[in-house]
Amino acid sequence: MTQKPPNILLIMADQLAPQFTGTYGHPLVQTPHMDAIAERGMRFDAAYCNSPLCAPSRFSFMSGQLVTDIGAYDNACEFPSTVPTFAHYLKQMGYKTCLSGKMHFVGADQLHGFEERVTTDVYPSDFAWTPDWENAEERIDKWYHNMDSVKEAGIAAATFQLDYDDAVAFFAKRKIFDYARNQEEPFCLVASFIHPHDPYVARQKFWDLYDPAEIDMPQNEIDYADQDPFSQRLMDGIEATSKAVTAEEVRNSRHAYYANTSYFDSKIGELVEALEEAQMLDNTIIIVTADHGDFLGERSLWYKMSFFEHSVRIPLIMAGPGVANGTAANACSLLDMLPTMVDIAGSTGTAQPEYGRPVPGRSLMPLARGEDDPVSEAIGEYCAEMTASPVIMIRRNEYKFIYCETDPALLFNLEEDPDELQNLAGDGAYAGVVAEFTAEIEARWDSAEIRQRVIQSQKERRAVHAAMEIGPITKWDWNPPRDASNEYVRNHMDWTVAAAKTRFPPLED
């Protein structure tokens, strides 16, 4: 009899920079449940998203594809239903698949291979948030980030984000016990939370974990005149140049972010506890990650949308059967998660399905097992607001190279300069390195052609959205199906049978 492959519980945060977690060494931020997973598993110390913005990052994560290959340029791009995801492949390999929480799917397909989706999304699924590269300097005030999140940071008993994440955890825990009652097939459950994404508003309980006097302030602040052109546009776009913030507002924002990181960590604890109570912890691989990071005032920047470390690096920790205890220094990315999960699903001999399109990433299971991996690479693409041409990042070994045909190149040696304060692109000693990276990018990416594709996509989506705003229309937002007539105990049921069927652990005969 073939051994049952491990279950997979993937827990995703939104806008969580690893630099602001205790798991990755922050002296203040309390993340005991992440710490516990890292202490018995593998912590990846150079993991990156492939596009530092919510929807594009998540589409790369789901599909194992770069965003320019699937047209997933920004937060209002449709995720094509023809693109296979890890959920499709895992279903083919016998897994039950479920999404609880955010994935920012845009378009009519709100499942993308998941067998079940037990919550709605927190953000809209239409084309409203479409940028305009032909008017790149124009702010879209309805949804562009601005400094209000910094100015209004503080404490609240309830917010839409707290409401949402409480629901995500509740339905994810319920699903774990549903799986426990019927353990015939392995499962892949993705629990995707919105915290610690701004607005920076936290519950009192988590705010009180931190002394305001101890909140650390940004280490490296950079004047506008000394910023690179993209960072200047980012500062303009989020109104950091027109709306000054006080030191108290900055401290409050970081305080609330730390509190919400601990809140997210508490949800990890709830899910791990549910696995323990469901007697499935020993055969479940737990993965914790995020879609991108947050500057929190570092470099005088906020939020994300940049290839500097606080924006583009993500936490990635794994624990469970077959995972060694340690740290992995190799650069990797969310692009690698699809082949990693397929590798996990095939670990006991289940045949891997044929990929529907070439998969550029690699499985991280060799690194997770403590083995050597000759590859240390992460590729990033950014095609959303604050630019009018694609921005490309290559992180390979010690170097990070950032290229946009309208901006000066950026080159950093992250081993010697982890804060990215010394741009080596203008140093003659590194002319050869710059030339090699530039030649590679110009050979792999046609920036002018990508720009035209992005602009055409934006025009199409604006036309569709304009029509969708007129008269009655069927919305694409996911409405989780529910049949209350068959829940709990109903007249067509024997309540003693229902009680026995739903009890876990079950009574012995």
pLDDT score for 3: 83
pLDDT score for 73: 97
- Cβ neighbors of 82 (< 8 A, separation 6 or more) are none
Q: For residues 414 and 422, give the distance between their C-alpha atoms in angstroms, rounded to a whole number.
A: 10
pLDDT score for 142: 64
pLDDT score for 2: 59
Q: Going residue by residue through the chain, which has 509 residues, state the pLDDT in tens, using 9 for 90 and above.
A: 458 899 999 999 999 999 999 999 999 999 999 999 999 999 999 999 999 999 999 999 999 999 999 999 999 999 999 999 999 999 999 999 999 999 999 999 999 999 999 999 999 999 999 999 998 877 776 667 789 999 999 999 999 999 999 999 999 999 999 999 988 899 999 999 999 999 999 999 999 999 999 999 999 999 999 999 999 999 999 999 988 999 999 999 999 999 999 999 999 999 999 999 999 999 999 999 999 999 999 999 999 999 999 999 999 999 999 999 999 999 999 999 999 999 999 999 999 999 999 999 999 999 999 999 999 999 999 999 999 999 999 999 999 999 999 999 999 999 999 999 999 999 999 999 999 999 999 999 999 999 999 999 999 999 999 999 899 888 999 999 999 999 999 999 888 888 888 999 998 87
Would you tell me how many other CB atoms lie within 10 Å of the CB of residue 488?
A: 9
Q: What is the dihedral of CA 112, 115, 116, 120, to 10 degrees?
A: 10
pLDDT score for 165: 98
What the chain holds in terms of domains, given with CATH numbers, is 7-390+445-502 (3.40.720.10)
CA distances from 46 to 25, 327, 328 (A): 14, 10, 8
Tokens of 212: 């305001």
Q: State how far Cα 56 lies from the chain centre.
A: 9
Q: What is the pTM of this model?
A: 0.96
User: Which residues carry out catalysis?
Assistant: 54, 104
Tokens of 237: 């776009």
Q: For residues 386 and 369, give the distance between their C-alpha atoms in angstroms, rounded to a whole number.
A: 40
Q: 316-319 and 42-44: which strand pairing?
A: antiparallel
pLDDT score for 496: 87
Q: Answer whether 290's CB lies under 8 Å from 19's CB.
A: no
pLDDT score for 207: 98
Q: Find, among 100, 110, 76, 79, the residue nearest to 474 by Cα.
A: 110
- Cβ neighbors of 221 (< 8 A, separation 6 or more) are 297, 299, 300
Q: Answer whether 299's CB lies under 8 Å from 308's CB.
A: yes
pLDDT score for 1: 43
CA distances from 145 to 83, 250, 481 (A): 29, 16, 33
Helix (H, G, I), strand (E, B) or coil at 491: coil
Alpha-helical runs (H) found in 40-144 = 54-63, 67-70, 86-92
